[in-house]
Chain A
Amino acid sequence: MSADPRLAALVDRADRLYRDYRLSSVRDWKARTGGLAVGYMPIYVPRELLHAQGVLPVGLMGGRDDLEIIKGDAYYQSYICHIPRSTIELGLNGSLDCLDGMLFPAICDVIRNLSGMWQMLFPGMLVRYLDVPQNFDRDLGGRFYRDDLEQLARDLAARGAAPLDADALRHSISLYNEDRRLVRELYALRGRAPWKVPTHELYMVLRAALVLPVEESTALFRTYLELVTHDDTRKPLDQARVLLTGSFCEQPSIGLIRTLERAGCYIVDDDFVQIHRFIQSDIPVDGDPVENLVVAFLTDAMASPTRYVETGVKGDDLIRRAEEGGAEGILFCAASFCDPALLDQPMLVKAVERRGFPWTAFKFSENSGQFQVIREQAGTFADSIKLWSGA
C-alpha cells in the first residue's frame, strides 16, 4: 500500500504556511474580507474574542535558522533569548506590515518589555499587553481579566472591528472548541501510535494553523487526522517514548525535532504551539460568553511555568501528562536564557525524579542549525530507556 498523496500535499501546504514569514495567507484574507488582522505572541490569547469581532488572530512564534537577523540583534544583549530579536527583525523588515495590531500576553519580562518597544517602534498599530491574572479567584483575578478583555474588545472596535456581540462570541467559542478538540485527538493519536503522527509533521500543521482563520485550521486538522489515521504505510519503530517540555515560547527548529526523532525518540507529548491546547476542554457556549472565557482561563488552562501554582504541587501536572501519555522519559528542552522555563526546571526535575522517570536536559536557540551534541545526548538517552524498559 502506498501513502495517500493528499497527505504529502497537506504537509507541503503546512510547510509553506509555516515558512512564510511575510504571512501571504493573512494578506490574502485581508484582501478578501477587509477585516483586521492582529498578531499575538505565545502562549495564550482569547482568539475567540477576536474572531467574534471579525478579527483574524495571527500566531507569531519568532523566526528560524533561515532568518537573517540584521537589525534585531541591535536591540538585545547576548544574554537574552532569541525570539524577541527575530520578532523585532520581522517587524522592522516589513514582514508583519499586514498586521493591524499585536498582543503581548503576560508570560515573562522579555515579552512584557517587548510590548513597550513595539508601542514605540510601530506607533500605527494597536499594541496591547494582555495582563493575564496570576490570581485565579473569580471575583479577583477573574474580575480583573474580564475588565482586560472588555477593554481589548473596545480597543478593537475603535480600530474598526465589529463591536463585541454575545451571540457572535458564542459562535466563535463553538468553532474554537471544535478546533481544540481535533488537536486533542491528534495528540491522543500520537500518544497511542506515534509512528502515525511524527512530531515534526504535526508541529508543522500546528504552526500552519496559526496563520489561518479558525474555519480553515479546523479543516486542516480534520483532514490531517483522517489521513494519518488511515495511513497504514507508517510502521512502528523501536523508539523510546518521551515527553518534551520547556519549549512553550521560543520554538526549536524543525531540524531539531527531526534530530530527536532520528536519535530514537518518539515525542508522545510536548509544549509546542500551546495556544491550540492551552484551554484543555470545551468552553461552555451557553450563558455569559465573556465570563465563560474568563472561567476557562482561570480553571482549565494548562499548567505552565508562566502561571503561578496556587494550590497543588509543582510538577504534578507534568507527571500526570507523562503517565497518561505513557512516556518513558522526559526531555527538558528550554530555549537558552528562557527564565520561566529554566527557573521552573529544578522543581520539575525533582518531581520527575521522585516518580522515577529518567530525564535529560538541553537548551536550544530558534536559530541554531547545529544539533550534533543534542543528537548524541538524545540518542544515548533513548538507548538507555530502551535498554532499561527491555530489562
Chain B
Amino acid sequence: MTTRQTATPVDVQKDASQVRQKAMIARHFDRLAAAPDTGEKTVYTFVPGNLTELLLSFDILPVLPEINALQSAMRGKSAEYISVAEKLGHSEDVCTYVKSDIGMLKSGNIGPTGQRLPNPDVLLLSYTGCFTFMKWFELLREEYDCPVAMLHVPYQADGRVTESMRRYVVDQLRQKVIPVLEQATGRAYDEDRLRECLARSAEAEDDLVWVLQSARHTPSPIDAYFGAVYYVGPIFSSFRGTPDAVAYYRELRAEIAERIRLGQGPVTPDGDLETERFRIVVEGPPNWTSFRQFWKMFVDEGAVAVASTYAKVGGVYDTGFRHDPSHPLESLADYCLGCYTNLSLPSRIDLLTRYVKEYSADGFLINSVKSCNSFSAGQLHILREVEARSGRPGGFIESDLVDPRYFSAANIKNRLESYFQMLEQKRPGGAA
C-alpha cells in the first residue's frame, strides 16, 4: 500500500526569482505587442538551437511558437486552436504544437498574455533535433511575407560533433543567417556585442547547472521536471545572454541554496513537499493541458523528479558545455549541435542511465507524447536499455503535449500508482 502524501499548503509566497521571471516575461510581451508602433523588429524562431545571443546583438525580439503553443494549452485554448487547424486540413496524426500554433495564428495570433503578437520581420528556422520544425516553417512562410533564414544543424548520429558538422553550421551562420538579420534590421553584425551576450549566457548557465544538480541532495530541493519547466524558462527562451537572465539565475541559486540549508523539499503547486518518497528521472516532455493535475499525481505519491531530459531540450549544459565568448560562432554551433533531441539514441540512453545513477534515483519514467517523433520514436527501446544498465525499474505512460484528447487522467493516474507501488515493493526491505 502506498501512503498518500500531502504537500503542506502554505500561504504561497512567491519567491523573488519567480516575481522577477514574471516581470521579465511581461516586459518581453509588452515590447512584442508594441513592436508595430515602436518599430522594434521581431523574429519567429524555435527553442532548441535558438540563437538568442545573436538576435540580441541585432536587437531583434524573438517569438517562440512552441512556447506559445504550450502557453495556449495551459490557458485552455489549445483544443480550440487544434480544431481550427484540423478543419483547415491539418492531419490528426501530426505534432500538436504545430496545429496549436497554426490555429492560434488563424484566430488572431493572440499570445500568452492576451496581446496580439506582431507579424515577424524574419523567420529564422533553426532545424535542430526535429524534422517537424522544417515543415512548421514552410507552413509559416506561406502566411508571412518576410525573409527566411534557414540553419540546418546536422544530427549527432555517432554521438559526437565532427569538425565538418561544426564548420557547416558556422559557415551557414556567416553566409546565410547573419546577412538576413543584417538586412532585416539594417544593422551590421557586431561580434563584440555578441561576445558580451555569450559571456552573460555562460554565467547564467553555471548557475542553472548548479540549480539542476542541487537535486543530488536528499531531499531534493527542486523538482527537476515540473519545477524545472519554470527554471529553464528564461534560458531556453528570449533571455539567455541578458543581464536579466544573469540576475534571475543568481537569485534562483541563492533561493535553492537556502532550501538545502533548511532541508526543504521542492515547491509544488500545493506548497512545499514534506516527504520525499521516490526519486525519479523523467524522459520526455510534460503534458501541458493538465500540467498541474499531472504534477499533482506525483506530489500525491511523494515522488520528486530529480533529473529530466526535458530540461535539456533547449541546451544540455550539465555535461560541460558553456557558450564561449572567445569562439562566438563556433560556440553557437556547438550549442545547436548539442541540444537533447539532437543526440543519438545511444547518447540519450547513456545520459539517462547516468542521471539514474548520479541522482540516486529509485526509477525512471518515460512520458511518451504522441506529437513528437523526435522524442518518442525509440523510447520503448530506451526503456529496456536504461532498465538493464541502471538496474532500476522504468515506467511508461502516454499522453500528448497540447491536445487534451490524449491526456487520459484516470489511466495515467492508475499507471503511476502501480508504478510507484512497484518501486515501493522493490525497495530493500519493501514487500516482495
A345 with B91: CB separation less than 8 A: yes
A347 with B142: CB separation less than 8 A: yes
Residues of A within 8 A of B134 (CB): 134, 308
* Candidate in A115, A133, A134, A337 with the most chain B CB atoms within 10 angstroms: A134
B370 with A109: CB separation less than 8 A: no
Choose the segment among B31-39, B232-240, B372-380, B416-424 that binds chain A (4+ C-beta atoms closer than 8 Å): B372-380
Given A77-B380, A131-B155, A140-B168, A342:B142 Cβ within 8 A:
no
Question: Cα distance A310–B152 when bound, in Å?
Answer: 12
Question: Cα distance A114–B379 when bound, in Å?
Answer: 11
Within 8 A of B (CB), among A39-91: 74-77, 79-80, 84
A109 with B374: CB separation less than 8 A: yes
Cβ of A272 under 8 Å from chain B: no
16 A-B contacts (beta carbon < 8 Å):
A109-B130, A115-B157, A116-B347, A117-B345, A119-B346, A135-B152, A140-B176, A143-B164, A143-B167, A339-B135, A339-B373, A340-B131, A345-B89, A345-B91, A347-B138, A347-B139
Q: Give how many A residues have a beta carbon under 8 Å from the other chain's beta carbons.
A: 57
Question: Cα distance A76–B384 when bound, in Å?
Answer: 12
A346 with B155: CB separation less than 8 A: no
Question: Cα distance A337–B95 when bound, in Å?
Answer: 10
Cβ of B113 under 8 Å from chain A: no
Residues of B within 8 A of A115 (CB): 157, 344-345
Cβ of B409 under 8 Å from chain A: no
Q: Which of A84, A343, A349 contacts B135 (CB 8 A)?
A: A343
* Residues of A contacting B: mostly: helix
A120 with B132: CB separation less than 8 A: no
A116 with B345: CB separation less than 8 A: yes
Cβ of A97 under 8 Å from chain B: no
Residues of B within 8 A of A305 (CB): 135
B132 with A144: CB separation less than 8 A: no
B155 with A340: CB separation less than 8 A: no
B93 with A336: CB separation less than 8 A: yes
Question: Cα distance A334–B89 when bound, in Å?
Answer: 14
B152 with A134: CB separation less than 8 A: yes
A112 with B155: CB separation less than 8 A: yes
Cβ of B13 under 8 Å from chain A: no
Within 8 A of B (CB), among A118-139: 119-121, 128-129, 131, 133-135, 137, 139
Query: How close is A1's CB to chain B, nearest CB, in angstroms?
Result: 48
Question: Cα distance A305–B131 when bound, in Å?
Answer: 10
Cβ of B23 under 8 Å from chain A: no
* A314 nearest in chain B by CB position: B138
Residues of B within 8 A of A151 (CB): 164
Residues of A within 8 A of B345 (CB): 113, 115-117, 119-120
Cβ of A110 under 8 Å from chain B: yes
Cβ of B209 under 8 Å from chain A: no
Question: Cα distance A137–B152 when bound, in Å?
Answer: 12
Digitize B76-115: 1 where CB-to-A-CB distance is under 8 Å, 0 elsewhere.
0000000000001111011100100000000000000000
Question: Cα distance A43–B370 when bound, in Å?
Answer: 24
Residues of B within 8 A of A74 (CB): 380
Cβ of A147 under 8 Å from chain B: yes
A141 with B89: CB separation less than 8 A: no
Q: Which of B135, B139, B385 contacts A120 (CB 8 A)?
A: B385
Residues of A within 8 A of B127 (CB): 134, 308
B94 with A76: CB separation less than 8 A: no
Query: How close is B384's CB to chain A, nearest CB, in angstroms?
Result: 9
Residues of B within 8 A of A363 (CB): 93
Given A113-B377, A135-B176, A342-B91, A108:B131 Cβ within 8 A:
yes
A117 with B378: CB separation less than 8 A: yes
Question: Cα distance A350–B141 when bound, in Å?
Answer: 14
Residues of B within 8 A of A121 (CB): 381
Cβ of B154 under 8 Å from chain A: yes
Question: Cα distance A60–B425 when bound, in Å?
Answer: 45
Given A80-B373, A144-B165, A137:B175 Cβ within 8 A:
yes
The 7 closest A-B pairs by CB, nearest first: A116-B345, A129-B157, A343-B135, A147-B164, A342-B91, A134-B152, A144-B168
Question: Cα distance A314–B140 when bound, in Å?
Answer: 12
Query: How close is A330's CB to chain B, nearest CB, in angstroms?
Result: 13
Query: How close is B404's CB to chain A, nearest CB, in angstroms?
Result: 16
* A315 nearest in chain B by CB position: B142
Within 8 A of A (CB), among B373-412: 373-374, 376-381, 385, 398
Cβ of B368 under 8 Å from chain A: yes
Cβ of B6 under 8 Å from chain A: no
Given A110-B373, A131-B155, A345-B89, A308:B132 Cβ within 8 A:
no
Cβ of B331 under 8 Å from chain A: no
* Candidate in A128, A133, A306, A337 with the most chain B CB atoms within 10 angstroms: A337
Residues of A within 8 A of B381 (CB): 75, 117, 120-121
B157 with A109: CB separation less than 8 A: no
A349 with B89: CB separation less than 8 A: yes
Residues of A within 8 A of B136 (CB): 343
Cβ of B213 under 8 Å from chain A: no
Digitize B142-172: 1 where CB-to-A-CB distance is under 8 Å, 0 elsewhere.
1000000010101101100010110110011
Residues of A within 8 A of B90 (CB): 346
Within 8 A of A (CB), among B345-383: 345-349, 368, 370, 373-374, 376-381
Digitize A200-224: 1 where CB-to-B-CB distance is under 8 Å, 0 elsewhere.
0000000000000000000000000
Question: Cα distance A74–B381 when bound, in Å?
Answer: 8
Residues of B within 8 A of A309 (CB): 138
Q: Which of B139, B175, B370 contacts A79 (CB 8 A)?
A: B370
Question: Cα distance A309–B142 when bound, in Å?
Answer: 12
Question: Cα distance A144–B154 when bound, in Å?
Answer: 9
Q: Which of B139, B344, B370 contacts A119 (CB 8 A)?
A: B344
Question: Cα distance A336–B134 when bound, in Å?
Answer: 20
